[in-house]
Amino acid sequence: MRYNLFHQVHQGLRSLLYQTALEVQHTDFLQTDEAGQALELLQMVTKLFDRHAHTEDNYIFPLVKTYEPSVIDAFEQEHAKDRLLSMLLIESMKLYADADTGEQRREAGRMIQSAYNKFLVFNLEHMLKEEEVLNPIIWHYYSDDELHKVTGTIIQETPAALMQSFNECICNGLNNAEISQWLKTVEQQAPDEVFLQLCQTAEQELPAGRWRKVLNRMTEGGGCVSVI
Ligand SMILES: [Fe+2]
């Protein structure tokens, strides 16, 4: 099986989209404290998707552009549409922040839901298209070793605070076997403090039962339990 550059981060972003969708649906926008939690998640969504598009534009699309420029042209246009949908969402959040009356809050809440649903649908389709269209081209021209190096560069270039937010989403978006494998790889390849931080993040994000299963899987081949 070939290395899928997109899998881990896209699973994390999908998880954030689903979690936020339910939070928005459960929010009574007349209650400003309830709305605060939803707005916090929505801000995280726009921030992480913006960074992710920046990463793809700078580190992944150039891999394909050399060989298939028209394909990348189409994906760059999708990123431009994504930016517009993100701006619509941010504008609706500003309307909510500026609302003075209950009716204005209710209307701004309705606009937030509408803008968010459009953003979610577009990005679910967009991410799947990237994996189904770009991966076969990437795999044709690059080895897995080269692609792992691209991932390494992306991790190095991502600011630490954003990396932490991505890692939290990824913990929520992967299955137990994938998380165990991820932690094992980080244990082998990264400094101890990076590995310990990631273990703490996984423990914090996962329900206790899932974290126990992840640890059990890691110890099957000799793992990190001693450092937890
Ligand atoms: Fe993208």
The CATH code of the domain that includes 16 is 1.20.120.520
CB 167 within 8 A of CB 205: no
Task: Tell me, in angstroms, the distance from the centre of ligand 1 to residue 106's CA.
Answer: 32
Cα of 149 from ligand 1 centre, angstroms: 19
Ion ligand 1: residue ranges with CB closer than 5 A = 56
**Cα 59 to ligand 1 centre (Å):** 11
Tell me what pLDDT residue 221 has: 59
The residue range of the domain holding 74 is 7-148
In a domain, 159, yes or no: no
Rounded to an integer, what distance in angstroms lies between the CA atom of residue 68 and that of residue 108?
42
Task: Give the Å distance between the CA of 126 and the centre of ligand 1.
Answer: 6
Q: Are residues 181 and 139 located together in one domain of the fold?
A: no
Ligand 1 center to 75 CA (angstroms): 7
**Both tokens assigned to 18:** 């689903």
The answer to whether residues 200 and 94 belong to one domain is no
Nearest CA-CA partner of 115 in 91, 94, 99: 91
Q: Can you give the pLDDT at residue 220?
A: 81
Q: Is 158 a domain residue?
A: no
Residue 3: what are its φ and ψ, rounded to 5°? -75, 125
Rounded Cα gap, residues 166 and 16, in angstroms: 10
173/162 Cα distance (integer angstroms): 16
Q: How many angstroms separate the CA atoms of 119 and 107, rounded?
A: 18
Say how many Å lie between the CA of residue 196 and the centre of ligand 1.
Answer: 30
Give yes or no: residues 62 and 137 share one domain. yes
Distance 198 CA to ligand 1 centre (A): 25
Q: Is 161 within a domain? A: no
- Comparing CA positions, the residue from 189, 176, 185, 187 lying closest to residue 215 is 176
Per-residue pLDDT at 98: 97
Q: DSSP labels for 19-32?
A: HHHHHHHH--TTSH
Q: What is the pLDDT along the chain (228 residues), one digit of tens a residue?
A: 899 999 999 999 999 999 999 999 999 999 998 899 999 999 999 999 999 999 999 999 999 999 999 999 999 999 999 999 999 999 999 999 999 999 999 999 999 999 999 999 999 999 999 999 999 999 999 999 999 999 999 999 999 999 999 999 999 999 999 999 999 999 998 999 999 999 999 999 999 999 999 999 988 855 444 333
The answer on 198 and 142 residing in a single domain is: no
Q: Are residues 98 and 196 located together in one domain of the fold? A: no
Residue 169 lies in a domain: no
| 186 in the same domain as 135 | no
Residues 205, 124 share a domain: no
Rounded to two decimals, what is the model's pTM? 0.93
Q: Are residues 142 and 181 in the same domain?
A: no
